A and B are shown apart, each in its own frame.
Chain A
Amino acid sequence: MAMRIAAACLCLLLVGAAPGRAEETEATAQARDGRSGFRSVWSATVVGVYTRLPSPESDNDFAGWFDQYEFTPNKGSDFPFQIGVREASFDLFRGERAVFQSRLRSPSANLGVSGSQADDPFFNQHLDALTRLRGLDLDVRYRRIRTEQLRLFPNTAGAALVFDDRTRRDDRFYRDRTGFESELRIRPYESLELPDDAPGAWIRPQLALRGGYEDRDGDAQLRIHRGPSNDWVGLAPDRDRSVAEVGTGLVVAPDGLFTLSFDFDHERVRIDDPVLTDGDLGFPPPQASTIGFVPETDRYTGTLRFSSQLHEGLSIEGGLLVSELEQVSEYTPEQRSSGLRDNEVRSYGAQASIESRPLDDLSLRGHFKYDRRQNEIERNTSLFNAENQIDPFVEDWERWLVGGEAELQLARATRVGVGLRYEEVARDLDYAPPVGLRILPSSAQIDRDTRTVSLYGTAAARPWRRLRIDAELGYRWAPDTGYASELDDNLYGELRASYVLAFARPVHLSASLRGSTGENDDFSLVSGQGPVPAGTRLGRSYERSSFLAGLSASFAPLDRVSLSASFFYGRDDQDSNLDLSSLQRYFQDTVPIDFSRDGDARFENKQTSLVLGMHAQLTEATDASASYSFARAKADYGGSDDTVLLDLVGRNQRIESTTHVLDLELRHRLAPGLEVLAGYRYQDYDDDAPRVESVASVVAPFDRSTRQHTATVGVTLSSEFFERR
């Protein structure tokens, strides 16, 4: 109720203030002439939103497809509506200089929420506030967002589930983030209005102080496998945590010769929930093994960046980074019993770029980048004994990248260039003792080195006045690859073109094509169990080709009407052999399946998108706009000789969905400072892929397909106030 009263008061305040604008028009001129008085400008758009969803998504306690991206509150009420402030702004000017600016945006925001969400209605609020005084800037950013997770389990209340779902049907799985970031920048030489020759003024220092805090609430849904009884348990543990950040920075630019920036930041992540273990859940028999643990951490990061225009045609910039991430505060039972406390990772980074123009038409560029990650965890504990180290352990990871480019300007806006890049990744891998079920170098799916050489050419041309073409074509060769899915032989390219059709009313066209094709036959493995005889060395191959092509057009058929359209089609094809694990799988502890193949398998992903837009100014006071978007995603997984099991896997992982969104809005200005709007939005998500709880279950999860109708009416009020002089 308090929210509704507040909303009503806000509306009255806004309506009462609105007529002020007309009488201030003269004052606008006065203030502009004087350019020294204070002036404030504000606007607010108050909307009422009605949402209609089909069952079961119309239930407040049921997360529907679109709630993943935009939570819809109040949808379970008798009349599913919200009122709220969708946009608001307040600016304060001194003369013509903005000293304070703020923008509130809340696409789905919301007063007037009833039911279970009445106590917590303000989702999806974004506020930016900038203060600009002489020599002092203050930026504040506030965010509150909520996203939902669809149920992993069908939870059909009584159906024959394979899973032991301990969540309640009205449990919602969501993440709610509320927080702010702020930065204060102080330039004392400006604040004190020091002359340029004042002592110390020549370094032009700027000091920055940063702070931020974010509170994260939510419930996650976990699926935990229960070994002894061979089934899964569905849980809904709390995921409440907070992230706090503080930092400081200093920028100096001595006489404008160069700019040097030093920053230091500290981030604290704290978890508000106790450590969850198997024992807490009463797994038979009680154990103390941690479930879904996320560590509390402190991160310290220092960065140094510089930039300089050394002289005409020669510029350099670069930076250094050192960062440490360490676990603090809360430890798992396994850590305590093993005596492991310190767990930290240290990261280093450096990069530099230089650009030179030895000739007017020739540019030379070079760049360098280095990253390193050192895992500092103490490994002489029982957590890394022969029983539980299986995979190779990455103690140290380094990446080097160096490259150079030369670009020749043939004519205005016409350039060709060539570049060479070398990248190397070195992994310091530690393997477990060669006993039991351990991964050995001969059978590892990760290798020590990745080395890549890329040669590429670029071109930018404007052969005719109305045509512009940009292209890049490159070849990448990798003598060593670290993963089987890295390509050791890769051709890639990108082409963008834009053209203006010179009709009486010009049509702007643009086209783009981006593609890549390559393969990796660098990997081989020593086989073990399964249909392949042990000890046999098997060659693997992996091929991948992908492209995304698009065409866009914009056109103004009438003076006050503009249209746009864009169409994109993308495809990703992956082929591999030796594609599945030979680990034995079972259907519900009954039929053992040797889940292995040594043959070809393929993955195909196709994406199609169409976006249409229209804007029309119907009269001087009336605007109409409309848009329609269509997106289709289709992905298949299968093999050349599909087995029954592979067919099941492929069927359960198939993606076939279509999304339609239609959006209409009409705005009409009734008077200066008073505008009304009406909108309608239709969203339809159609999921054609069959889903089952498991291959051994007859229970189907809820259908993801849904459609949503949203109608909006609103009023925008705006006004200006002046300090009369």
Chain B
Amino acid sequence: MHRQGPWRVGSCVLLAGLVACALQWGPSEPEGRHRTAAVEGAGQRIGSEACAACHASFADHFAFSEAHPDCESCHGPGQLHDYTARAADIRFPSSEDCAACHGTRSTTLLGWTHSPHARADVLCSDCHDTHNRELWNLRPADAVQTAVFRNADPATQLCASCHPGVRAQFDLPSRHPLGEGMLGCTDCHEPHASRRQTLGAATRRCLECHQEVAGPWIYEHPPVTEDCSYCHTPHGASADFLLETSQPAACISCHSLPIAGAVHQPYAFTTACTDCHNAVHGSYADPHLRK
């Protein structure tokens, strides 16, 4: 059995230290992030042609439309920035700016305000770049991230650049084939909302692809009806079939009871519980889930 005391004490000390840090030190401008607040004294509009004089690299990537008619419709007046050439003197659109139009035109952003990304200060422009021509104006991952997840789809490469721990799980022996480009993160995850906001039970998203385990069965396995994650982990696992815990440990963590009067017939024991109980998700013929 494990000793949990030191772990708990350490965790409490760590949290207390973080709170102390937060109280002790004052604000600072985030490293590498652009300002989204309005610029005081930004001056007048100067027109997109004036912007292109310096930002020539964007010249091939402007994607102006009725919604984005020119640079300053999103970045605000550029007169001060044109004079100082300081990044701090131009604003970048906040997520609220984007949501003002996109939030009412589709269901995509219905849950954005309450999503983990929004609460972690992730901006729309961290993933989308209206200057490029990718689908959904998706910002490409940097070249190194593309190299380490080469066959994944572009959106998945972008997710992996901020979530390297999740990326690492797709190298494990059992995994959903994202690294091979078969699936992408957004096939399961909604980046504009949270898991808590997903309507329906936890199995709903899994059953959109795995209808063959949805039933309805006659003889059910109760955990299957509640939450796939009782047994499976979605990204990657050591054990086959994305089992979080390999057999027999996965099964006997629940099924350790002595059944009154039960005697197995003289069946050969092979290598896994599912050698016999192969209809583990549910059955139409056998209450013991053997076929």
**In B249-284, which residues have CB < 8 Å from any A CB?**
249, 252-272, 275-276, 278-279, 283-284
Residue numbers in A under 8 Å from B47 (CB-CB): none
Known: A528-B259, A548-B165. A576 touches B253 (CB 8 A): yes
10 further A-B contacts with Cβ under 8 Å, apart from A305-B199, A586-B264, are A68-B177, A267-B211, A340-B218, A491-B4, A592-B266, A613-B144, A627-B147, A631-B173, A657-B173, A694-B270
Known: A305-B199, A457-B15. A289 touches B164 (CB 8 A): no
Q: Is the interface of A mostly helix, strand, loop or mixed?
A: strand
Within 8 Å of chain B (Cβ to Cβ): is A353? yes
Docked-complex contact B107 and A633, CB < 8 angstroms: no
Interface centre among A512, A573, A627 (most CB of B within 10 A): A627
Binary CB contact string for chain A from 487 to 503 against chain B (1 if under 8 A, 0 otherwise): 00001010100001000
**In A94-125, which residues have CB < 8 Å from any B CB?**
95-98, 101, 103, 105, 107-108, 124
Docked-complex contact A562 and B265, CB < 8 angstroms: no
Binary CB contact string for chain A from 549 to 560 against chain B (1 if under 8 A, 0 otherwise): 010101000000
Interface locus among A50-58, A73-81, A604-612 = A604-612
Q: 10 A-B pairs, CB-CB below 8 angstroms?
A: A96-B65, A185-B106, A294-B212, A425-B226, A437-B259, A459-B19, A459-B22, A462-B30, A469-B21, A586-B269
Residue numbers in B under 8 Å from A614 (CB-CB): 144, 147
Binary CB contact string for chain B from 76 to 116 against chain A (1 if under 8 A, 0 otherwise): 00000000000000000000000000011111011101100
Within 8 Å of chain B (Cβ to Cβ): is A311? no
Q: Output the least CB separation between A219 and chain B (Å).
A: 14
Within 8 Å of chain A (Cβ to Cβ): is B53? no
Q: Closest residue to B4 on the A side, CB-wise?
A: A517
Residue numbers in A under 8 Å from B147 (CB-CB): 613-615, 625-627, 663, 665
Within 8 Å of chain B (Cβ to Cβ): is A635? yes
Residue numbers in B under 8 Å from A305 (CB-CB): 107, 110, 199
Q: Output the least CB separation between B257 and chain A (Å).
A: 5
Within 8 Å of chain A (Cβ to Cβ): is B182? yes
Binary CB contact string for chain B from 21 to 64 against chain A (1 if under 8 A, 0 otherwise): 11111111111100000000000000000000000000110111
Interface centre among B18, B133, B244, B278 (most CB of A within 10 A): B18
**In A651-665, which residues have CB < 8 Å from any B CB?**
652-653, 655, 657, 659, 661, 663, 665
Docked-complex contact A391 and B173, CB < 8 angstroms: no
Q: Closest residue to A612 on the B side, CB-wise?
A: B148
Known: A69-B175, A528-B260. A581 touches B255 (CB 8 A): yes
Measured in the bound complex, the distance between the Cα atoms of B30 and A464 in whole Å is: 9
Q: Closest residue to B100 on the A side, CB-wise?
A: A256
**In A236-276, which residues have CB < 8 Å from any B CB?**
239, 241, 243, 249, 251, 253, 256, 259, 261, 263, 267, 269
Give the number of chain A interface residues (Cβ < 8 Å). Answer: 228
Partner of B271, one of A68, A251, A491, A692: A692
Measured in the bound complex, the distance between the Cα atoms of B122 and A468 in whole Å is: 14
Residue numbers in B under 8 Å from A253 (CB-CB): 104-105
Q: Output the least CB separation between A518 and chain B (Å).
A: 8
Measured in the bound complex, the distance between the Cα atoms of B146 and A464 in whole Å is: 30
Known: A97-B64, A187-B105, A493-B11. A529 touches B216 (CB 8 A): no
Docked-complex contact B64 and A545, CB < 8 angstroms: no
Residue numbers in A under 8 Å from B109 (CB-CB): 307
Binary CB contact string for chain B from 147 to 181 against chain A (1 if under 8 A, 0 otherwise): 11011010000000000110111011101010111
Known: A575-B2, A586-B268, A634-B238. A97 touches B63 (CB 8 A): yes
Measured in the bound complex, the distance between the Cα atoms of B135 and A595 in whole Å is: 58
Known: A70-B180, A564-B145, A613-B144. A295 touches B285 (CB 8 A): no
Partner of A335, one of B64, B260, B284: B284
Residue numbers in B under 8 Å from A397 (CB-CB): 225-226
Binary CB contact string for chain B from 135 to 147 against chain A (1 if under 8 A, 0 otherwise): 1100000111111
Within 8 Å of chain B (Cβ to Cβ): is A413? yes
Known: A256-B104, A259-B104. A574 touches B248 (CB 8 A): no
Interface locus among A6-14, A16-24, A325-333, A668-676 = A325-333
Binary CB contact string for chain B from 188 to 202 against chain A (1 if under 8 A, 0 otherwise): 000000001111110
**In B224-259, which residues have CB < 8 Å from any A CB?**
225-226, 230, 238-239, 244-249, 252-259
Binary CB contact string for chain A from 516 to 547 against chain B (1 if under 8 A, 0 otherwise): 01110000011111101010000011110100
Measured in the bound complex, the distance between the Cα atoms of B212 and A716 in whole Å is: 40
Within 8 Å of chain B (Cβ to Cβ): is A637? yes
Measured in the bound complex, the distance between the Cα atoms of B198 and A343 in whole Å is: 26
Measured in the bound complex, the distance between the Cα atoms of B107 and A101 in whole Å is: 21
Measured in the bound complex, the distance between the Cα atoms of B146 and A461 in whole Å is: 30
Docked-complex contact B261 and A517, CB < 8 angstroms: no
Q: Nearest 4 CB-CB pairs, A to B?
A: A633-B238, A528-B260, A631-B171, A412-B27
Known: A323-B200, A527-B258, A579-B256. A145 touches B182 (CB 8 A): yes
Measured in the bound complex, the distance between the Cα atoms of B9 and A194 in whole Å is: 64
Residue numbers in A under 8 Å from B257 (CB-CB): 443-445, 525, 527, 581
Known: A96-B64, A463-B21, A607-B172. A225 touches B267 (CB 8 A): yes
Residue numbers in A under 8 Å from B165 (CB-CB): 512, 514, 548, 550, 566, 568
Docked-complex contact B211 and A534, CB < 8 angstroms: no
Interface centre among B8, B244, B246, B267 (most CB of A within 10 A): B267
Measured in the bound complex, the distance between the Cα atoms of B26 and A290 in whole Å is: 69
Docked-complex contact A529 and B263, CB < 8 angstroms: yes
**In A672-696, which residues have CB < 8 Å from any B CB?**
685, 691-696
Known: A230-B268, A661-B171. A436 touches B261 (CB 8 A): yes
Measured in the bound complex, the distance between the Cα atoms of B60 and A295 in whole Å is: 54
Give the number of chain B interface residues (Cβ < 8 Å). Answer: 132
Docked-complex contact B197 and A317, CB < 8 angstroms: yes
Docked-complex contact B249 and A574, CB < 8 angstroms: yes
Q: Output the least CB separation between A492 and chain B (Å).
A: 9
Residue numbers in A under 8 Å from B239 (CB-CB): 635, 655
Binary CB contact string for chain A from 373 to 414 against chain B (1 if under 8 A, 0 otherwise): 101010000010000111111100101010000000011111
Within 8 Å of chain B (Cβ to Cβ): is A41? yes
**In A342-386, which residues have CB < 8 Å from any B CB?**
343-345, 347, 349-351, 353, 355, 365, 367, 369, 371, 373, 375, 377, 383
Q: Output the least CB separation between A102 and chain B (Å).
A: 9
Partner of B18, one of A369, A425, A461, A515: A461
Docked-complex contact B267 and A586, CB < 8 angstroms: yes
Known: A96-B63, A589-B268. A439 touches B259 (CB 8 A): yes
Docked-complex contact A321 and B200, CB < 8 angstroms: yes
Docked-complex contact B262 and A230, CB < 8 angstroms: no
Interface centre among B11, B12, B183 (most CB of A within 10 A): B11
Docked-complex contact A293 and B284, CB < 8 angstroms: yes
Docked-complex contact B164 and A566, CB < 8 angstroms: yes
Residue numbers in B under 8 Å from A626 (CB-CB): 147
Residue numbers in B under 8 Å from A519 (CB-CB): 4
Q: Closest residue to A655 on the B side, CB-wise?
A: B238
Docked-complex contact A332 and B28, CB < 8 angstroms: no
Partner of B270, one of A625, A663, A693: A693
Residue numbers in B under 8 Å from A294 (CB-CB): 212
Binary CB contact string for chain A from 195 to 223 against chain B (1 if under 8 A, 0 otherwise): 00000000010100000000000000011
Measured in the bound complex, the distance between the Cα atoms of B246 and A392 in whole Å is: 25
Q: Closest residue to A483 on the B side, CB-wise?
A: B254
Q: Closest residue to B111 on the A side, CB-wise?
A: A317
Docked-complex contact B143 and A413, CB < 8 angstroms: no
Docked-complex contact B144 and A554, CB < 8 angstroms: yes
Q: Output the least CB separation between B159 and chain A (Å).
A: 14
Docked-complex contact B258 and A443, CB < 8 angstroms: yes
Q: Closest residue to B201 on the A side, CB-wise?
A: A371
Measured in the bound complex, the distance between the Cα atoms of B213 and A342 in whole Å is: 18
**In A60-96, which residues have CB < 8 Å from any B CB?**
68-70, 91, 95-96
Residue numbers in A under 8 Å from B60 (CB-CB): 28
Q: Closest residue to B18 on the A side, CB-wise?
A: A459
Partner of A437, one of B29, B182, B261, B285: B261
Docked-complex contact B278 and A223, CB < 8 angstroms: yes
